[in-house]
Amino acid sequence: MWSRYRSLNTKTAVKCKNCGRESPLISQSLSLCPDCIRHQFVQVLPIIKQAHYKARKPFALPPYPPRAEGGKACRICINECSIAEGGVSYCGLRTNVGGKLKGATANLANVSWYYDLLPTNCVADWVCPAGTGAGYPDFAYRRGVEYGYKNLAVFYQACSFDCLFCQNWHYRRLVSGQARVEASKLAEAVDGYTACVCFFGGDPTPQLPHAIRSSRLALEKRRGHILRICWETNGSMHPALLKQMLKLSLNSGGCIKFDLKAWSEPIHIALCGVSNNRTLDNFRFLARLTKRRPSPPLLIASILLVPGYVGKEEVAGIAVFISSLDPDIPYVLLAFHPDFLMTDLPATSKQQAMECLEAARAAGLSRVRLGNIHLLH
């Protein structure tokens, strides 16, 4: 199966199924150019849906969020699944058994973790306490880099999106596995040298109740000591869960990192299978609260520079959006490397990166940075 994905690593041009245009920056996984996606979205939507159907089928994931009439409702994320008896949620974690949702809960999750010595390659390392000492002494152990301490990196094996360029797609092999890890066991992984916990994945969104419970247990365990609660997420969670995340991070000195995949909703749906409306609404909500704790920054935005699809137009759209809310919100532009179903695209070029950096700064943002620069070509 995976030999098919590796075989896409080619420099040949691909023809857009809609307009016939050929370009090496069109991925075979979509076979659509960005202009057709943006301007003829309704017309090309069936092609987009077919691409995501093919991406999910090998992992036995539902092609679309279920909408069964009278089904069991899940409201954790934007997909708001209505699951028929015996059916499965879009994230693959929950099933309807006898009218009750079974699977991941606040106490059990599909999750793994590991330790990263600080400083680590966090999206926020250039502004957070671990990398800079921001917030010392309330939120940082040292005035500078927290050498000698570590981050507990918590990987949740599920996602509410279906990104065709996913950099961590291997979790999909584990989504259907039974949720076995108790919140208390995860909290026990926090020791005296753990300065921060970062929930990522996949995405923590589908299993946020578990992450929130684990955070509270860990903070209670380390009461009187610094333990920052951080998140790296697509931002598609229910607003009520976001408010609980906010409280945990705001009080602990942690940050909430939103991975804003695209500005254009059609581009976002094409690349990720899901709308970005909830993500932008949630980001807007958090942006109104950033002044409560300016240092270290509460909210950080990032975007992956996907050649052919996410360039200066998308970067600038998001930059203008962020600037209108709070120009001091840090914005990280991440270089792309070919992965999952988009191995036929090149890595981000230095030219694209500099154009995007200039576009972000032109929007009036005060803190913009290029990340993963070692991937640029």
Q: What is the CATH number of the domain that holds 204?
A: 3.20.20.70
Q: In angstroms, rounded to a whole number, what is the distance separating the alpha carbons of residues 174 and 92?
A: 10
**Residue 186 located in a structural domain:** yes
Give burial (CB, 10 Å; 0-12/13-18/19+) of 270: buried
> Which pLDDT score, from 0 to 100, does residue 12 have?
83
Of all helices (H) and strands (E), which one includes residue 194?
strand 194-201
Tell me the per-residue pLDDT of 224-243, one tens digit each, with 9 for 90 and over: 999 999 999 999 999 999 99
Amino acid 232: pLDDT: 98
Q: Residue 93: which domain range?
A: 72-103
Number of domains in the chain: 2
Each residue of 354-365: pLDDT tens digit?
Answer: 999 999 999 999
pLDDT 10s digits, 54-84: 999 999 999 999 999 999 999 999 999 999 9
Q: What per-residue confidence (pLDDT) applies to 8? A: 40
Residue 348 belongs to a domain: yes
Say if CB 139 and CB 228 are below 8 A apart: yes
Does 320 reside within a domain?
yes
Residue 212 has pLDDT above 50, yes or no: yes
Distance (Å, rounded) from C-alpha 347 to C-alpha 352? 10
What is the per-residue pLDDT for 175? 73
Same domain, 77 and 151: no
Q: Are residues 171 and 250 in the same domain?
A: yes
Model confidence at 6, pLDDT cuts 50, 70, 90, reads very low
Cβ pair 236, 274 in contact under 8 A:
yes
pLDDT (0 to 100) of residue 7: 38
Whole-angstrom distance, CA of residue 133 vs CA of residue 2: 43
| 240 plus 365 within the same structural domain | yes
Give yes or no for a contact between 299 and 331, defined as CB atoms under 8 angstroms apart.
no
Residues 151-166: what's their mean pLDDT? 97
- Same domain for 287 and 212: yes
Residue 29 lies in a domain: no
Q: Are residues 354 and 369 in the same domain?
A: yes
Question: Residue 176: is its pLDDT beyond 80?
Answer: no
pLDDT tens for each residue of 12-30 = 899 999 999 999 999 999 9
Structural domain contains residue 2? no
Residue 91 reports pLDDT greater than 80: yes
In this structure, are 89 and 196 located in the same domain? no
Question: With 90 as the cut, is the pLDDT of residue 206 above it?
Answer: yes
pTM: 0.95
Q: Is residue 33 part of a domain?
A: no
Q: What is the pLDDT of residue 236?
A: 98
Q: Are residues 297 and 218 in the same domain?
A: yes
H or E stretch at 333: strand 331-335
Q: Given 103, 122, 142, which residue is the final one in a domain? A: 103
**Which of 83, 103, 123 is where one domain is finished?**
103
Q: Say how far apart CA 311 and CA 346 lie, in whole Å.
A: 13
Q: Is residue 3 in a domain?
A: no
For 284, the enclosing helix (H) or strand (E) is helix 277-287
Could you tell me if 84 and 148 lie in one domain? no
